[in-house]
Amino acid sequence: MEFGLYSLGDHMPNPHTNEWISASRRLTEIVEAAKLAEEVGIDVFSVGESHQKYFTTQAHTVLLSAIAQATNTIKLSSSSTIISTSDPVRVFEDFATIDLLSGGRVEIIAGRASRIGLFELLGYELTDYEALFEEKFALLNLINEQEVVNWKGEFRAPLKNAEILPRPFNGKLPIWRAVGGTPASAVKAGEAGVPMALAALGGNALHFKRIIDLYRKSAERAGHDVSSLPVATTSLMYLTENVEHAMNTMYPYLNKGMFHVNGRGYPAQLFMDGDAVEDVLMVGDAGRIVEKILHQYELFGHQRFLAQIDFGGIPFKEVAKTIETIGSDILPQVRKYTK
């Protein structure tokens, strides 16, 4: 199982100190985090886009390009690219270019947007939320499969013998479908026969197992080879010396951060359940984190786990320490039991 990190590029004050770093420093620290992740042996680093206050990664492909130039071996991905409000041709051109610059290390996780302000900002109707995603995700995959594209849809001008360049380093890009936890979206991912990246930010792991099982059953019914379809899960992670300290320290970051993003905090009871091994929220010391990861691996049989370790104004020195601890105390144990 691959182990990765993801960032949404949130730009928020530290709730413990009220310190608020500049946007320039925040972006630079994300690049530094990716470099450190590569140094300790982490497999994947991904960056998502967001188009609202309290974020810095509106142009996430630009940041991924900077990371590609600052690293050598780590896989790079989005987390996610909001394909609903983007032109699939431009998305493919951008990611194929970064892929060439990085020597074939780039992937796309395409999503629908959990924060909907970008629809008005970028000139799309929220009433077309589902239709926009399905049409544009299908077109992105078609472009990935065919260098010359003929296509007609509802939300974009037709493509007539359109040669989409450049082509990726290895001919094609891995393209994942981001699933926020809804069974219907998992079914569509399975029916399409595309890899699924499942957001699992809190709650009992059994709930997410049902979604993964549904995805695989849908893929099998559609005639796809399930063994060739990887599943990734994502979770928030806060790692300190002991579980109690982690629980006491993480909640302000998580609660205030969620309030900035959604106008409502993280439910206290949901967080209090987070120290249980069965809960997908990754909070605790290294031993507890390893227990949680291995518990989920036994349930899910997934191929990738991605942790968000920088949410809510966590200072970079803590992020860097977490990355180092992942490399020294978590990766060896996880890899021992998942290879």
pLDDT per residue rounded down to tens, the chain (339 residues) = 999 999 999 999 999 999 999 999 999 999 999 999 999 999 999 999 999 899 999 999 999 999 999 999 999 999 999 999 999 999 999 999 999 999 999 999 999 876 777 888 888 888 998 999 999 999 999 999 999 999 999 999 999 999 999 999 999 999 999 999 789 999 999 999 999 999 998 999 999 999 999 999 999 999 999 999 999 999 999 999 888 888 889 999 999 999 998 888 998 888 998 989 999 999 999 999 999 999 999 999 999 999 999 999 999 999 999 999 999 999 999 999 997
The domain ranges of the chain are 2-338
CB of 110 closer than 8 Å to CB of 175: yes
317 Cβ neighbours under 8 A, 6+ residues apart? none
| Residue 62 half-sphere exposure toward CB, CA atoms < 13 A | 7
Residue 117, pLDDT score: 76
Query: What pLDDT is recorded for position 339?
Result: 78
Compute the distance between CA of residue 122 and CA of residue 130 in angstroms, rounded to an integer. Answer: 16
For residue 326, what is the DSSP state?
I
- Beta-carbon count within 10 A of 80 CB: 27
Smallest CA-to-CA distance from 176 within 221, 224, 226, 141 is with: 141
CA distance 266 to 76: 29
Neighbours of 94 (CB within 10 A): 22
Please state the CATH superfamily assignment of the domain spanning residues 2-338 in this structure: Luciferase-like domain (3.20.20.30)
- Whole-model pTM over 0.85: yes
pLDDT value for 275: 87
Q: Is 184 exposed, middle or buried (0-12, 13-18, 19+ CB in 10 A)?
A: exposed
295: helix, strand or coil: helix
Radius of gyration from C-alpha coordinates of the chain: 19
Q: Which two tokens stand for residue 197?
A: 């990246």
Note the pLDDT of residue 122: 87
Phi, then psi, of 237 in degrees rounded to 5? -135, 135
Fill in the DSSP letter of residue 327: I
